[in-house]
Amino acid sequence: MLRYRPSCIMLRLCSYIIGEHGDSSVPVWSSVNIAGTRLRDMCPSAGEDPERDSENWGQLHQDVVNAAYEIIKLKGYTSWGIGIMSAKLAEAILKNQVCICILL
């Protein structure tokens, strides 16, 4: 979802969420890196108090949380995405492939 932000030109994006998707997830705002530049260098208030977060980055995390519930509502479960990505990662490791795995 971060790559769809108008302020992000997606040359290269790296970010982390700790925990499982949904309510237990915690965004690691200090790890967000866009084309080699830390998000906090571009927007120091990212993910902080909503009154200071002028670009509403906190809402982005809420959108990620809600996405899990939307998937469950539409499909009834979320295991396919986890299973497919696990299989792709295992294949890349076993075949010693040089690849980039994009997690949305």
pLDDT tens for each residue of 55-74: 788 888 888 788 778 878 88
Residue 78 within a domain: yes
The pTM of the full predicted model, rounded to 2 decimals, is 0.55
Question: What's the token pair of residue 36?
Answer: 């080699």
Would you place residue 95 in the very low, low, confident or very high pLDDT band (cuts 50, 70, 90)?
Answer: very high
61 is catalytic: no
Domain interval for residue 36: 2-94
- Residue located via tokens 């700790």: 18
The catalytically annotated residue of 5, 15, 17, 21 is 21
Residue 59 within a domain: yes
Residue 103 within a domain: no
CATH number of the structural domain spanning residue 69: 3.90.110.10
Which secondary-structure segment (H or E) carries 10? none
Question: What's the token pair of residue 55?
Answer: 């670009």
The tens digit of pLDDT for each residue in 17-64 reads 887 767 788 888 888 888 788 888 888 888 777 777 777 888 888 887
Q: Considering its fold, how many domains does the chain have in total?
A: 1
Residue 104 within a domain: no
Q: Which residue has the higher pLDDT, 6 or 67?
A: 67
Would you place residue 103 in the very low, low, confident or very high pLDDT band (cuts 50, 70, 90)?
Answer: low
Residue 12 within a domain: yes
From CA 88, how far away is CA 44, in angstroms rounded?
A: 35
Q: What is the pLDDT of residue 53?
A: 77
- Using a 10 angstrom Cβ sphere, with 0-12 exposed, 13-18 middle and 19 or more buried, the burial of residue 47 is buried
Residue 99 within a domain: no
Residue 71 within a domain: yes
